[in-house]
Amino acid sequence: KETLVEIKDLKRHFKVDRKNILKAVDGLTFDIYKGETFGLVGESGCGKSTAGRTIMGLYQASAGEVRFKGASVHEKKSKRELKNLTRSMQMIFQDPYASLNPRMTVKDIIAEGIDIHGLAKTKEERTKRVNELLETVGLNAEHGNRYPHEFSGGQRQRIGIARALAVDPDFIVADEPISALDVSIQAQVVNLMKKLQKERGLTYLFIAHDLSMVKHISDRVGVMYLGNLVEVAPSNELYETPLHPYTQALLSAIPIANPQIERTRERIIVEGDVPSPINPPSGCRFRTRCPMAMEICSKIEPKFIEHEPEHWVACHLYGKN
């Protein structure tokens, strides 16, 4: 497997006031392979969106590093290098409406990247490219003359996808792209993204708050809790044999589609709220809600270990921590 994005001990902290620091992302380490979809999952406030933005270079890293095709994302670069980087990495947002300028026609929204990067030499070429993109995402040339408010949520997400594709990126960070859509529309957007990935060899970081949302698109899944990854595994393995008590709890909350085929899963209830990332619990951050917590869990932070090939977990129940 070829690594496209390498994330090493990445931290992004925010100063809240004189005394307090919010550790939104606090030591992420994982790789994203070329051509795969890496699903990043966690409850709201776990730092997954901040992680996505820091990986893209939209936020500065407080520590650690991100390498895209071997080159550092956060190191100072020339204007030209920066331009190439922003062209290679694009983002799709949860609320496409908020990210689309309401005063611009869809055609001009999609063409923005084409203009910035000088990808069309003539007006005709620009129009041709835009129309092709509209068709690629299931819209047509006539839609290009309208404004964002004239479209449904699902169509707006298609516009957001067309805009991201306009500059021919290699890597797309999709921050909860289907969370705001009706269930009936979610599958359509996921299928479109899968189709585009195949045709264009795209790599996705697909962020979601719920494991059921990433199941059908992810090759591998990472589960985040309070700024850290607690488990990373190939999708099938994660859904079949989750190791971390938090992943087990998240999975037990998903209704079982076919109870006769799927093994019975006991419902695990995680008590209490997510603690504040300003003052996370000592040792294992999940210990205040973990049904399996032991004495060691409050004292020592579990290391993130490769318990089985490609299956990483941070929990004292596994390995010699």
Residue 7's beta-bridge partner residues? 30, 66
Residue 294 contact, options ligand SF4, Mg ion, none, Cβ 5-8 Å cut-off depending on partner type: ligand SF4
CB of 221 to ligand SF4, least distance (A): 17
Instruction: Give the footprint of Mg ion on residues 39-78 (CB under 5 A).
Output: 49
DSSP annotation of 14: E
SS3 category, 230:
strand
Q: Using CB under 6 A, which of 12, 209, 215, 287 touches ligand SF4? A: 287
- Among the candidate windows 42-50, 111-119, 195-203, 289-297, which touches ligand SF4 by CB under 6 A? 289-297
Nearer to Mg ion among residue 49 and residue 203 (C-beta) = 49
CA distance 170 to 80: 17
Residue 173 contact, options Mg ion, ligand SF4, none, Cβ 5-8 Å cut-off depending on partner type: none
CB of 64 to ligand SF4, least distance (A): 22
CB of 311 to ligand SF4, least distance (A): 15
The contact mask relative to ligand SF4 for 195-234 (x = CB under 6 A, - = no) is ----------------------------------------
H-state helical runs in the chain: 48-56, 79-88, 96-99, 106-116, 123-136, 153-165, 183-200, 211-214, 235-240, 245-252
Q: Using CB under 6 A, which of 38, 239, 286, 304 touches ligand SF4? A: 286
Residue 316 contact, options Mg ion, ligand SF4, none, Cβ 5-8 Å cut-off depending on partner type: ligand SF4
First to last CA, the chain: 28
| Residue 195, both tokens | 């189709």
Nearer to ligand SF4 among residue 193 and residue 250 (C-beta) = 250
Instruction: Give the footprint of ligand SF4 on residues 246-285 (CB under 6 A).
Output: 284
Nearer to ligand SF4 among residue 164 and residue 284 (C-beta) = 284
Interstrand relation of 21-33 and 37-41 (parallel, antiparallel or unpaired): unpaired
Nearer to ligand SF4 among residue 111 and residue 270 (C-beta) = 270
Helices (H) and strands (E) in the chain, counts: 10, 12
- For position 242 contacting ligand SF4 by CB under 6 A, the verdict is no
H-state helical runs in 169-318: 183-200, 211-214, 235-240, 245-252
Nearer to Mg ion among residue 49 and residue 90 (C-beta) = 49
| Residue 48, both tokens | 């997954």
Residue 49 contact, options ligand SF4, Mg ion, none, Cβ 5-8 Å cut-off depending on partner type: Mg ion
Using alpha carbons, list the distances in angstroms from residue 314 to 7, 88, 197, 294.
17, 32, 31, 14
SS3 category, 176:
coil
CA distance 71 to 50: 21
At residue 212's C-alpha, the angle toward residues 209 and 216, to 5°, is 115
Nearer to ligand SF4 among residue 177 and residue 227 (C-beta) = 227
Residue ranges that bind ligand SF4, judged by CB under 6 A: 244-245, 284, 286-287, 290, 292-294, 297, 302, 315-317
Residue ranges that bind Mg ion, judged by CB under 5 A: 49
